[in-house]
Amino acid sequence: MVSERGLQVLRAIVQDYVETRDPVGSKSIVDRHAFGVSAATIRNDMALLEEEELIVAPHTSSGRVPTDKGYRVFVDHLAEIRPLSTAQRTAISTFLDEPADLDDLLSRTVRCLTQLTGQVALVQYPSFARATVTHIELVLLAPVRMLVIVVTDTGRVSQRIVHLPQEVTENDAQALKVQLNTLVTGNEVRTASARLDAHREDPANTDAVFTALIDTVAEELDEFRQDKLVMAGAATLARRELDFRGSIHPLLEAIEEQATLVRLMEEMVGDREGLAASIGAENAAFGLSEASLVASDYDAPGSRARIGLMGPTRMDYPSNLAAVRAVARYLTRLLDEDDTRR
């Protein structure tokens, strides 16, 4: 059982190590923090923390650094997460205001977070399985090329260029648009997908152009139903390579593949405010024991998803948690306002 002063010493070690990257000794704790006790007393506290495997000496006769378990205790005992400064909040609102669409908003969100924190930023797309298809637009680019645009009531817009099996005219394109909208508009994504599947399986439907368009719309709706991440800041891992005990390649592979990070983001357990942290060894099952993730829930119309940061275990947890919480709240507000306007 760690005493209250022991927790304060652990907090000092974490804060100093994150700030300096140097192992922390008892003398530096006495010099930098107002404990009102001697260095010998602090050494005794540090010895108890070491017995609890919360800190460790990386080298003989060196100071101490936090272990993954130590970071976990530190995060679990954060008294409060300090709010962002006015300048930081202004930067968030300026960066995210008036996006073109949801894709643009989420892209701006991760770029904003990585600029604020210097970490890899990740945001999940909300699940659009219950979104309603509001419109399909067809734009004829050439006799055998067409742009297909699918719009839902959640603001999600998808665009795909299709190479048609035969030439069509503008009149043909308008007729095809009416057919597609009749088939799917006003239906939830999952229902619209089922209607498209049924139409494809009907042997009476032999129009090759319409079939190609149905295939395209169905693929786009399947994308709407899949879990996806938007990420930014992968280059920060290379700049922070010294903060990782081993190779950063598993992290780069996870960023490239996404599926591992999607599973990890979904399995992180949040607190009452929707904040979550998964630290070092806790990520071993995902091959990411060198990394920590912090995340916050955000709400979209009819759905909930997460926004997070990934970096080395030696990260500024209070500041990073504050950043994801602030951006998540702003993102929720923007999506709610957009839904209200619709």
In the three-class reduction of DSSP (H, G, I as helix; E, B as strand; rest coil), residue 142 is classed as strand
Confidence of residue 40 (pLDDT cuts 50, 70, 90): very high
Confidence of residue 67 (pLDDT cuts 50, 70, 90): very high
In the three-class reduction of DSSP (H, G, I as helix; E, B as strand; rest coil), residue 60 is classed as coil
Give the CATH number of the domain where residue 47 resides: 1.10.10.10
| 323 and 176 assigned to the same domain | no
| 168 and 99 assigned to the same domain | no
- Give me the DSSP letters along 155-177: S-EEEEEEE-SS---HHHHHHHH
| 175 and 298 assigned to the same domain | no
- End position of a domain, from candidates 160, 192, 225: 225
Examine residue 50 and state whether it is found in any structural domain, yes or no: yes
| 213 and 307 assigned to the same domain | no
Examine residue 243 and state whether it is found in any structural domain, yes or no: yes
Examine residue 201 and state whether it is found in any structural domain, yes or no: yes
- Give me the DSSP letters along 108-135: HHHHHHHHHHSSEEEEEPPP-TT-BEEE
- End position of a domain, from candidates 194, 225, 256: 225
| 337 and 276 assigned to the same domain | yes
| 201 and 164 assigned to the same domain | yes
| 116 and 262 assigned to the same domain | yes
| 138 and 263 assigned to the same domain | no
Of 29, 18, 105, 121, residue with least CA distance to 70: 18
| 240 and 211 assigned to the same domain | no
Strands (E), the chain: 55-56, 65-66, 120-124, 133-142, 145-152, 157-163, 229-232, 275-279, 291-300, 303-312
The sign of the dihedral angle between the CA atoms of 102, 181, 127, 260 is negative
In the three-class reduction of DSSP (H, G, I as helix; E, B as strand; rest coil), residue 253 is classed as helix
Tell me the helix, strand and coil percentages in the chain, rounded to 5: 50, 20, 30
- End position of a domain, from candidates 201, 225, 249: 225
Give the CATH number of the domain where residue 302 resides: 3.30.450.40
| 141 and 238 assigned to the same domain | no
Please tell me the total count of domains within the chain.
3
pLDDT above 70 (res 290): yes
Examine residue 81 and state whether it is found in any structural domain, yes or no: no
| 66 and 215 assigned to the same domain | no
| 159 and 71 assigned to the same domain | no
pLDDT given for residue 98 in this prediction: 87
Tens of pLDDT along 201-254?
Answer: 888 778 899 999 999 999 988 877 667 899 999 998 888 888 888 888 888 899
pTM equals 0.78
Examine residue 187 and state whether it is found in any structural domain, yes or no: yes
Examine residue 253 and state whether it is found in any structural domain, yes or no: yes
Non-local (6+) Cβ contacts of 228 within 8 A are: 124, 125, 258, 262
Segment holding 75, helix H or strand E: helix 68-76
pLDDT given for residue 70 in this prediction: 96
pLDDT above 70 (res 91): yes
Domain housing 123: 86-127+227-341
Give the CATH number of the domain where residue 201 resides: 3.30.390.10
The mean pLDDT value for 120-149 works out to 90
